[in-house]
């Protein structure tokens, strides 16, 4: 790892501690004389890969951007009128540059530490409020992964929540006018869980038989808008619950689902300013009636108060997600689509209620003009009542018409041989309408008579009356609002975020650049292949690189979060067993220390979770494993292990574990979220795994975006290849169960990982892994005397992260790991992972991207905190009156004239000297979580509450 003095490569910029002197300092502390000897000791020999990664040599930023330009030029932009759940939109430049392209927003982590997340929590609360108002339901979350999976979540929720004896075990009924990808995703999930789904035209009434829940689409994929109130009423009479998948923009004109009696509304917020992105990432939403909020998946922002009584935001009911619910799990959603939800919320702030309504009216007006013009020219228009989508019958001519439109640069939806769909959106102009009409040989009429929304579905209620949607009209004002919110938060652009398991590493600017280029961002997921050559080449190439890195035979990038990759992998295992006639294999072994999503995914894949105990040294308890294998031998489907384990160590006997499972006929799922400790050193596909997911938003530099987007590719051995996710939009109930609404999931952010791999090359990636190991071991060695490192492997070394055990200190002094996490805020740090995988601990993962200076600043903070804990132990102050329990300290608290604390103000605000220049003050003090859950408020509170 020697570096020449003229070091100017990207690898040198990506890796933080790169200077030889720094490396030597770190090695000395750990007690090794070379990085390779440290790595050789830490990583078990029998899993090491014997050949270097055969990837292309590293390119420079300039070269990578040139390659991306080339790929982009192989995509063709067009006027996108395909619809089917995806509509073109205008991302206001002030939002694009200052949110989507701003590291202050995109490098933030999920707001589990609310005191340093008030900005993004406010933006997400705005999102919830907008959704609640538009759909007419009191509680909305922020957010879900895509519309189709949001419907699947709603269907499962109805199945859990329906307590009507006659109805609860009945079938789920989907309207035939639901999006095809939605129907496919629901059917795929239902098959694994063993419940019946029926698809029927619900405008003709409900089918016979017991019905658990009904799903309607407003407007339908055909564009038709009909009054749902009658079918909803009859569903309720029969004891069913009702979900409506609704288009948010249309709800500015159409009666909201809540007012029509729906229990749940779901849908996509894509068309509110989020680019098409070739299918994602986009934020989906879910809103529910009162009483259902406690079984709702996804993250929910609520309002509580801090220790000074100041209103403050936090994630409400947090114990429902991330935190382990094991076999009782109901949803596996963890990473969602926070950044995209924030973009959509700001779009609503930017346009306000009148603006949104005007956009909707203009689109509806163009659609009606088009319908009237086509009808006048003798074309059969299928529905009279629609919002933005006109469906026409052109017997035998659909392909010809679609091709003629394409020749004019317009994409229409070829539904079948006789039917064409045309979706109007925010970007549609009168000229486009005229062009489309001309394809049908029609001239544009002045009036749109005969086409109007059915009077009974016209919206009469107001929405988005809150001041936040009605005050930021000038760009100056909005820019300052965006800046004000991001200034309240800590993201990677200000500080190290040493979160174990989450791998908060550099998201280099060069990696980010391409995502908003129109040739990538403005491509519809169902655009013809001739227009998406560049996209597909990039995706195929990335999948090939990931195949090489992981040692598997095949990769699919479709899953749009790690959790979804898990589900894809487990469904592949399920499909494999079924195809072998092993129908009884449904037990999934999961170590006690596993990430919460593991068990939840197993439940969603229709498996039975059996927990395997942890040995005192943190490895899998082999006696218990053996016993569980024996007990469940015939029913054994799989084991899910994380490697290196969630305890931050390379278990030396992982091969033995894999062999034992295989010997019993089971499959091995290796959770690859910790791949940052493996890339270039070992390949899960080679040391025993049959299938894995990776987190591109951890190891491969996609930013976390404050809780999403993410990409969770599934990688598998050849025998599982037939069971990799298929394309939901064209799925015909084969083995390839689709996982996400669109074929390539969150395609829009893939250029980031693609660029990262190209910029690093095989050698650079391997060096990054080694540097991550060095940094983690350096922290462990420096802090061990102050906070014992809980688990270590060979040579007393850890992998890429380490668990600091606070439990003994807590028992002695009362100071908790949470107190330490909150006190770190006063030092300007985001806390490490708290209480996962072991309660009472902190898990630290520095990644390879941090400089030694920053790592040392963190170590200094932790040692200073340890001295404060000693002050509690020595009786200088009680734990209740300590700077630890009273942390974090706001500026208001520190300058208050009635300072009466047992420690000086200087210690509160400037516990180390250099903070005097560079000080982050959190906007609120310690937040009372429990109070916020008791009194759940999940909408924007009245503005006066914040004016004290």
Ligand X SMILES: *Cc1c(COP(=O)(O)O)cnc(C)c1O
Residue with tokens 């809540």, as numbered in its chain:
258
Minimum distance from CB of 71 to ligand X (Å)?
A: 26
Using the contact rule CB under 6 A, the part of the chain among 409-417, 444-452, 560-568, 838-846 near ligand X is: 560-568
Q: Are strands 833-834 and 264-268 parallel, antiparallel or unpaired?
A: unpaired
Residue with smaller CB distance to ligand X, 257 or 745: 745
Main-chain phi, psi angles of 599, to 5 degrees: -65, -40
Minimum distance from CB of 140 to ligand X (Å)?
A: 21
Q: Residues 653-692: x/- map of binding to ligand X (CB under 6 A)?
A: ------------------x-x-------------------
| DSSP 8-state symbol, 927 | B
Q: Which of 597, 637, 667, 699 binds ligand X (CB under 6 A)?
A: 597
Minimum distance from CB of 678 to ligand X (Å)?
A: 13
Minimum distance from CB of 185 to ligand X (Å)?
A: 17
Tokens (6 digits) for 782: 């420096």
Residue with smaller CB distance to ligand X, 335 or 637: 335
Nearest to 922, CA basis, from 346, 306, 302, 299: 306
Residue with smaller CB distance to ligand X, 242 or 283: 283
Residue with tokens 């890969």, as numbered in its chain:
49
Minimum distance from CB of 698 to ligand X (Å)?
A: 6
Q: Are 284 and 267 in contact (CB under 8 A)?
A: yes
Distance CA 725, CA 245 (A): 23
Using the contact rule CB under 6 A, the part of the chain among 10-18, 137-145, 401-409, 561-569 near ligand X is: 561-569
Strand locations in 338-398 (E):
380-381, 389-393
Using the contact rule CB under 6 A, the part of the chain among 418-426, 557-565, 583-591, 865-873 near ligand X is: 557-565
Main-chain phi, psi angles of 198, to 5 degrees: -120, 135
Minimum distance from CB of 666 to ligand X (Å)?
A: 20
What value does the CA radius of gyration of the chain take, rounded to a whole number of Å? 28
Q: Is 602 helix (H, G, I), strand (E, B) or coil?
A: helix
Residue with smaller CB distance to ligand X, 52 or 839: 839
Q: Which of 255, 501, 545, 676 binds ligand X (CB under 6 A)?
A: 501
Q: Does 642 bind ligand X (CB under 6 A)?
A: yes
In sequence order, the 6+-apart residues with CB closer than 8 A to the CB of 489 are: 104, 108, 116, 117, 118, 119, 120
Q: Are 546 and 715 in contact (CB under 8 A)?
A: yes
Q: Which of 149, 162, 563, 771 binds ligand X (CB under 6 A)?
A: 563
Closest CB to ligand X belongs to which residue?
A: 562
Minimum distance from CB of 32 to ligand X (Å)?
A: 27
Using the contact rule CB under 6 A, the part of the chain among 239-247, 558-566, 719-727, 930-938 near ligand X is: 558-566
* Residues belonging to the chain: 948
Q: Residues 763-792: x/- map of binding to ligand X (CB under 6 A)?
A: ------------------------------
In sequence order, the 6+-apart residues with CB closer than 8 A to the CB of 277 are: 515, 520, 521, 523, 746, 747, 748, 749
Minimum distance from CB of 334 to ligand X (Å)?
A: 3
Tokens (6 digits) for 267: 């849908």
Q: Are 396 and 430 in contact (CB under 8 A)?
A: no
Q: Which of 562, 684, 688, 762 binds ligand X (CB under 6 A)?
A: 562
Q: Residues 458-497: x/- map of binding to ligand X (CB under 6 A)?
A: ----------------------------------------
Residue with smaller CB distance to ligand X, 379 or 572: 572
Minimum distance from CB of 782 to ligand X (Å)?
A: 24
Minimum distance from CB of 694 to ligand X (Å)?
A: 10
Segment 689 to 708, residues that bind ligand X, using CB under 6 A = 695
Q: Does 561 bind ligand X (CB under 6 A)?
A: yes
Minimum distance from CB of 553 to ligand X (Å)?
A: 22
Minimum distance from CB of 823 to ligand X (Å)?
A: 25
Q: Are 563 and 601 in contact (CB under 8 A)?
A: yes
Nearest to 767, CA basis, from 15, 5, 9: 15
Q: Does 646 bind ligand X (CB under 6 A)?
A: yes
Residue with smaller CB distance to ligand X, 219 or 569: 569
Tokens (6 digits) for 290: 């009162």
Q: Does 847 bind ligand X (CB under 6 A)?
A: no
Minimum distance from CB of 510 to ligand X (Å)?
A: 24
Q: Which of 421, 712, 846, 922 binds ligand X (CB under 6 A)?
A: 712
Q: Does 335 bind ligand X (CB under 6 A)?
A: yes
Minimum distance from CB of 599 to ligand X (Å)?
A: 11
Instruction: Write the CA distances from 826 to 706, 858, 860, 881, integer angstroms.
Output: 21, 12, 13, 16
Minimum distance from CB of 287 to ligand X (Å)?
A: 22
Using the contact rule CB under 6 A, the part of the chain among 268-276, 555-563, 569-577, 762-770 near ligand X is: 555-563
Residue with smaller CB distance to ligand X, 353 or 745: 745
Q: Are strands 380-381 and 389-393 parallel, antiparallel or unpaired?
A: antiparallel
Main-chain phi, psi angles of 256, to 5 degrees: -70, 150
Q: Does 595 bind ligand X (CB under 6 A)?
A: yes
Q: Are strands 410-411 and 241-246 parallel, antiparallel or unpaired?
A: unpaired
Q: Does 334 bind ligand X (CB under 6 A)?
A: yes
Residue with smaller CB distance to ligand X, 172 or 501: 501
| DSSP 8-state symbol, 326 | G
Q: Does 168 bind ligand X (CB under 6 A)?
A: no
Residue with smaller CB distance to ligand X, 562 or 925: 562
Q: Does 828 bind ligand X (CB under 6 A)?
A: no
Strand locations in 323-455 (E):
380-381, 389-393, 410-411, 413-416, 419-423
Strand locations in 11-167 (E):
79-80, 139-140
Distance CA 665, CA 790 (A): 34
Direct distance between the N- and C-terminal alpha carbons of the chain, in angstroms, rounded to an integer? 56
Cis ω for the linkage preceding 720 (within 30 of 0)? no
Minimum distance from CB of 324 to ligand X (Å)?
A: 12
Minimum distance from CB of 744 to ligand X (Å)?
A: 17
Distance CA 947, CA 399 (A): 60
Nearest to 700, CA basis, from 497, 833, 506: 506
Q: Which residues pair with 199 in a beta bridge?
A: 174
| H helices present in 515-561, as ranges | 518-521, 533-550
Alpha carbon 434 to chain centroid distance?
40
Minimum distance from CB of 563 to ligand X (Å)?
A: 3
Residue with smaller CB distance to ligand X, 335 or 847: 335
Residue with smaller CB distance to ligand X, 299 or 366: 299
Q: Which residues pair with 224 in a beta bridge?
A: 386
Distance CA 685, CA 296 (A): 36
Q: Residues 915-944: x/- map of binding to ligand X (CB under 6 A)?
A: ------------------------------
Distance CA 547, CA 544 (A): 5
CA atoms within 13 A on the CB side of 571: 30
Q: Residues 503-542: x/- map of binding to ligand X (CB under 6 A)?
A: ----------------------------------------
Residue with smaller CB distance to ligand X, 364 or 646: 646
SS3 content of the chain, % helix, strand, coil (to 5): 45, 15, 45
Number of residues that bind ligand X (CB under 6 A): 15
Residue with smaller CB distance to ligand X, 712 or 748: 712
Which residues sit at the interface with ligand X, rule CB under 6 A? 334-335, 501, 561-563, 595, 597, 642, 646, 671, 673, 695, 710, 712
């Amino acid at each position: 790892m020697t570096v020449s003095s003229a070091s100017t490569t990207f690898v040198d910029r990506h890796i933080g501690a790169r200077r030889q002197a720094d490396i030597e300092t770190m090695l000395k502390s750990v007690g090794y004389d070379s990085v390779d000897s440290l790595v050789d000791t830490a990583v078990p020999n029998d899993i090491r890969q014997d050949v270097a990664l055969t990837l292309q040599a590293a390119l420079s930023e300039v070269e990578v951007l040139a390659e991306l330009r080339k790929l982009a030029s192989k995509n063709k932009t067009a006027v996108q009128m395909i619809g089917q759940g995806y509509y073109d939109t205008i991302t206001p430049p002030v939002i694009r540059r200052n949110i989507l392209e701003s590291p202050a927003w995109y490098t933030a982590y999920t707001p589990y530490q609310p005191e340093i997340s008030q900005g993004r929590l406010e933006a997400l609360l705005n999102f919830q409020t907008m959704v609640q108002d538009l759909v007419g339901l009191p509680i909305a979350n922020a957010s879900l992964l895509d519309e189709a999976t949001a419907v699947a979540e709603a269907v499962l929720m109805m199945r859990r929540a329906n307590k009507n004896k006659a109805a609860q075990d009945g079938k789920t009924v989907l309207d035939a006018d639901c999006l095809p990808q939605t129907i496919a995703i629901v059917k795929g999930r239902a098959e694994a869980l063993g419940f019946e789904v029926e698809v029927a035209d619900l405008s003709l009434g409900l089918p016979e038989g017991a019905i658990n829940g009904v799903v309607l689409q407003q407007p339908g994929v055909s564009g038709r808008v009909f009054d749902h109130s009658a079918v909803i009423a009859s569903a309720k009479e029969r004891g069913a619950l009702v979900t409506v998948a609704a288009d948010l923009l249309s709800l500015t004109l159409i009666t909201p689902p809540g007012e029509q009696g729906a229990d749940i509304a779901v849908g996509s917020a894509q068309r509110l300013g989020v680019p098409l992105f070739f299918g994602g990432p986009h934020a989906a939403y879910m809103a529910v009636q009162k009483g259902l909020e406690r079984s709702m998946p996804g993250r929910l922002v609520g309002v509580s108060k801090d220790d000074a009584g100041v209103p403050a935001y936090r994630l409400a009911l947090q114990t429902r997600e991330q935190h382990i619910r094991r076999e009782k799990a109901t949803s596996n959603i963890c990473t969602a689509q926070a950044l995209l939800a924030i973009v959509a919320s700001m779009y609503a702030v930017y346009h306000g209620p009148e603006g949104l309504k005007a956009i909707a009216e203009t689109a509806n007006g163009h659609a009606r003009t088009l319908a009237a013009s086509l009808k006048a020219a003798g074309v059969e228009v299928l529905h009279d009542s629609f919002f933005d989508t006109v469906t026409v019958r052109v017997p035998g001519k659909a392909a010809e018409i679609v091709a003629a439109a394409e020749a004019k640069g317009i994409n229409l939806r070829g539904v079948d041989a006789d039917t064409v769909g045309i979706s109007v959106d925010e970007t549609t102009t009168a000229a486009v309408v005229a062009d489309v009409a001309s394809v049908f040989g029609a001239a544009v009429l002045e009036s749109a008579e005969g086409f109007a929304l059915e009077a009974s579905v016209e919206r009469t209620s107001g929405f988005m009356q809150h001041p936040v949607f009605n005050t930021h009209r000038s760009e100056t004002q909005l820019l300052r609002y965006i800046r004000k919110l991001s200034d309240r938060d800590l993201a990677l652009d200000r500080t190290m975020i040493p979160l174990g398991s989450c791998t908060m590493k550099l998201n280099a600017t060069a990696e980010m650049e391409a995502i908003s280029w129109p040739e990538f961002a403005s491509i519809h997921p169902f655009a013809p292949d001739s227009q998406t050559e560049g996209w597909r080449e990039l995706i195929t190439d990335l999948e090939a690189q990931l195949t090489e890195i992981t040692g598997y035979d095949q990769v699919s990038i479709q899953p749009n979060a790690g959790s979804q990759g898990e589900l894809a992998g487990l469904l592949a295992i399920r499909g494999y067993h079924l195809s072998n006639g092993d129908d009884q294999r449904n037990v999934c072994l999961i170590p006690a220390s596993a990430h919460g999503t593991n068990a939840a995914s197993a439940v969603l894949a229709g498996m039975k979770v059996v927990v395997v105990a942890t040995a005192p040294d943190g490895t899998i308890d082999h006696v218990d494993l053996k016993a569980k294998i024996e007990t469940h031998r015939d029913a054994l489907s799989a084991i899910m292990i994380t490697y290196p384990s969630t305890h931050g160590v390379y278990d030396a006997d992982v091969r033995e574990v894999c062999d034992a499972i295989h010997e019993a006929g089971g499959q091995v799922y290796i959770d690859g979220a910790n791949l940052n400790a493996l890339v270039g050193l070992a390949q899960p596909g080679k040391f025993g795994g049959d299938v894995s997911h990776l987190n591109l938003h951890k190891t491969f530099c996609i930013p976390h975006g404050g809780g999403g987007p993410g990409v969770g590719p599934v990688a598998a051995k050849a025998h599982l290849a037939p069971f990799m996710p298929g394309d939901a939009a064209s799925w015909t109930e084969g083995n390839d169960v689709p996982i996400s609404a669109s074929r390539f999931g969150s395609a829009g952010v893939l250029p980031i990982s693609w660029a990262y791999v190209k910029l690093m090359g095989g050698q650079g990636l391997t060096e990054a892994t080694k540097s991550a190991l060095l940094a983690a071991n350096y922290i462990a060695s420096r802090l061990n005397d102050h906070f014992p490192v809980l688990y270590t492997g060979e040579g007393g070394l850890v992998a890429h992260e380490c668990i600091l055990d606070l439990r003994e200190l807590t028992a002695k002094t009362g100071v908790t790991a949470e107190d330490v996490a909150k006190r770190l805020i006063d030092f300007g740090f985001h806390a490490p992972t708290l209480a996962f995988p072991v309660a009472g601990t902190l898990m630290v993962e520095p990644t390879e991207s941090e400089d030694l200076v920053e790592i040392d600043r963190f170590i200094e903070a932790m040692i200073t905190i340890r001295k404060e804990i000693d002050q509690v132990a020595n009786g200088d102050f009680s734990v209740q009156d300590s700077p630890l329990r009273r942390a974090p300290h706001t500026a208001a608290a520190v300058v208050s004239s009635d300072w009466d604390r047992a420690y000086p103000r200087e210690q509160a605000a400037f516990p180390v000297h250099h903070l005097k220049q560079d000080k982050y003050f959190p906007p609120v003090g310690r937040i009372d979580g429990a109070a916020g859950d008791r009194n759940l408020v999940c909408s924007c509170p009245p503005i006066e509450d914040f004016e004290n």
